[in-house]
Amino acid sequence: MNKEIQLQELGLREYREAWDYQEQLFREIMELKIRNRREDLQAPTPNYLLLVEHPHVYTLGKSGDQSHLLLDENQLKARNAQFYKSNRGGDITYHGPGQVVGYPVLDLENFFTDIHKYLRFLEEVIILTLQEYGLDAQRSKGETGVWLDVGTPYARKICAMGVKASRWVTMHGFALNVNTDLGYFDHIIPCGIKGKAVTSLNIELGQREVPMNEVQEKILKYFAAIFEANYTKEI
């Protein structure tokens, strides 16, 4: 079991470019797993964690409803935003500048083979990160992601999640709103959940600009701790 994770900080990347890159890594891991089984080998499979920001983009999960996007093609262009139908789970969400997006491309056979546990671990990484800022972040039953004030009229989502897994290899992941322009969420029904608000770390801390690298460092610390992993860093 290889618990070493290759960390890649990709900076600002178009969604399609980052998605294609994930697919490439995903295929390479899958091919190695298949070869190991076919030839009775034990070559270790790699794991990756990609950290990225995207230009304005809306993405729809494979089981999502496109009517949850409230903009037509011309309106998307006017807002300098793109739209993609993705192969991840979940419904519709927004990515944009000021958001920490994490794409773990892991072979879960290096860790544990339980998708439910994997999603709860991702949530826990974000919950612990937000605790460092004095926020009582929580899970909401039946709604994957991380929330504040669950069970109250003020419930609001601060981190969306959607993943794909095949033969225990994962892709896609989480998007934590840090200094995000939340106005872009007004043009969707986020994650297909009507009447639920979204928020950001910036808003919750009284409009204080939060250093993105600081948030990333905290996420990485807890990701390594929870998954009992260590990193090698790639440029």
How far is 167 from 162, CA to CA, in rounded Å? 17
Torsions phi, psi for 76 (to 5 deg): -60, -45
Q: Count the domains in the chain.
A: 1
Torsion of CA 175, 177, 182, 186, to 10 degrees: 30
Q: Would you say 171 and 162 are in contact if contact means Cβ atoms under 8 Å apart? A: no
Residues that constitute the known binding site for substrate? 88-95, 160-162, 173-175
Per-residue pLDDT of the chain (235 residues; tens, 9 = 90+): 899 999 999 999 999 999 999 999 999 999 999 999 999 999 999 999 999 999 999 999 988 899 999 999 999 999 999 999 999 988 899 999 999 999 999 999 999 999 999 999 999 999 999 999 999 999 999 889 999 999 999 999 999 999 999 999 999 999 999 999 999 999 998 665 666 799 999 999 999 999 999 999 999 999 999 999 999 986 4
Q: What is the set of active-site residues?
A: 191
User: Residue 213: which CATH number?
Assistant: 3.30.930.10
The residue range of the domain holding 214 is 4-234
Position 173, amino acid = G
Q: Would you say 190 and 144 are in contact if contact means Cβ atoms under 8 Å apart? A: no
Note the pTM of the prediction, 2 decimals.
Answer: 0.95
Q: What is the DSSP letter of 43?
A: P
For the chain, what's the residue count? 235
